[in-house]
Amino acid sequence: MTKISKRISVFDVFSEGGGDQNVDVPYRSGEEAGGDGCTTVPVDENSVIIATVTEQQNQNASGCETPCSSEEKPSLCSLHQVSRALVAFSIILSIVAASLSILLLFQYFYHPAVQRACPDYLELCASSLNCSLSDGANSCPPSRQPSNRTVASEYKNPVLLLTGRSLLQLYSANVGRYYTVCHQGWKTSHGWTVCRELGFNSNTVLSSPLSLNVTDAICLESFAVVNKTLQSPNNLETFLSPVESCPAQQGVSLQCTDCGRSASENQRIIGGSPSAWGRWPWIASLRWDGRHVCGGSIISAQWVMSAAHCFVLSNFLTVGRWKVHAGSTSLNPSMSVPIRSIYYNGLFNPETNDYDVALIKTSQPMAFSETLRPVCLPRTQQQFQTPGNCWISGWGHVNEGGQLSPVLREAKVHLISSKVCNQSSHYPGMISERMVCAGYLDGKVDSCQGDSGGPLVCQDGGLWWQVGIVSWGEGCGRPNRPGVYTNLTALLDWIYHRLQTDSEIP
């Protein structure tokens, strides 16, 4: 039985020395009175004495309180002391009763909504999910079996960006077909409409003509041109008019974010080295109660992607206890952004690690800069060649069983085919279509605990594309046990469906 490790820094969250320290507050006794001729009466520290207003006035008038003298009758002295005790006791009871009443009323009328991470399926009933005041369980009827929803008959993404060239195709529900969009008549405003349909609200939309002579055959089956109108269309059905072929044989290459551009091109991560400032501007640290647990990647101004197991395995489902830290290579306090919602794939399997992906929406947009910008999501049918120019980065353990790295580390890794990775000498039959292996078969360079949820990126066409999410592996850097990553290309439908479903929520 092999030991499979999810690369989450659970033990670092509860490491010694990181919590709040108990501070002993010394007891402060009353100061001795001097110079006023009054005799100080010893006070029993085990009792609580609350003076009434009248008694305080009497003290101010006389300068000091005179205890019962021996000349007074014992019965009167005792009665006086009992009366004082009863008055003090009554006041204490009144205060306690009032406090309890206020507390009970507060608890009765005030019910704070504790938002929790939601399991998200591509099901029609997904909109009924409400994780507040619940355990984050799926509320779909038990009779409905969750499905991948990537089958053509079940779900059609309204927008496709094909291959590394980002060729635009739009789906017509009336016809049941994807159309390659011709560049003739294309305007920037059209790009905004399409990107909003895809789930991106960014004003940064990049489009350019693309020669259809260098595209795959699937892109040359059906074509459409943009309808001539003075206003931007409100939906895709009124957006296009089918044609036999595109004028000038040009389609539209579209990007909805200015993604995949690094501010630095220099050369965690086991066997890696410290990363340069701005080298990986999309990397994020996800922190539970201020402590780093997992990595993440920025995909838009308000969306961060990570691994489902970061939230599910340790029951870290309370949204309010998470924050996103981005724009820095250090684990020291940096710019933090509160989180509004967390969604993890409802088909995530803790036993097999399948469907290990989650999306986090921040409470407010992040301001992009040279050290903070999004990574590119892979395109439909985009192929990344082995070994490829691929890198991993994170603050995880620098060696198996070690400690988190205080600075961001990076390492170059090779993509390994699933056919090789599924062999008996590696991970026999454990690599699904939604997983991809990367690293080296002789070990040494690998991701580790604390790197979970971070990005595996590969460079293609001058841009950095996120190919995978750090997911699991046997140990760290062991021979014949490369790192296993979530294959994002196989889960694009789930990602875009979530972006589209949540895009209208402010």
- State the catalytic residue, choosing from 356, 446, 460, 493: 356
Tokens 């995530």 belong to residue: 348
- State the catalytic residue, choosing from 183, 190, 292, 309: 309
Helix (H, G, I), strand (E, B) or coil at 491: helix
> Cα–Cα distance between 278 and 286 in angstroms, integer?
18
Q: What is the 3-state secondary structure (H, E, C) of 132-174?
A: CCCCCCCCCCCCCCCCCCCCCCCCCCCEEEECCCCEEEEEECC
Separation in Å, CA 37 to CA 30, 32, 61, 65, 433: 17, 12, 14, 11, 91
The maximal CA–CA distance of the chain, rounded, in angstroms, is 121
Residue 372 phi/psi, 5° resolution? -150, 105
Task: State the DSSP code for 269.
Answer: -
Catalytic annotation present for 497: no
CB neighbour list of residue 126: distance below 8 Å, 6 or more residues apart? 120, 140, 501
CB-based contact 233:239 (threshold 8 Å): yes
> Cα–Cα distance between 164 and 378 in angstroms, integer?
8
- State the catalytic residue, choosing from 426, 452, 460, 493: 452
CB neighbour list of residue 274: distance below 8 Å, 6 or more residues apart? 329, 407, 408, 409, 410
Read off the amino acid at residue 160: L
Tokens 């206003």 belong to residue: 231
First-residue to last-residue Cα distance in the chain: 48
Catalytic annotation present for 397: no
Catalytic annotation present for 309: yes
Separation in Å, CA 78 to CA 64, 67, 68, 72, 85: 20, 11, 9, 10, 11
Q: Which two tokens stand for residue 52?
A: 């009434």
CB neighbour list of residue 490: distance below 8 Å, 6 or more residues apart? 150, 433, 434
Q: Which two tokens stand for residue 88?
A: 């003090």
Enzyme catalytic residues: 309, 356, 452
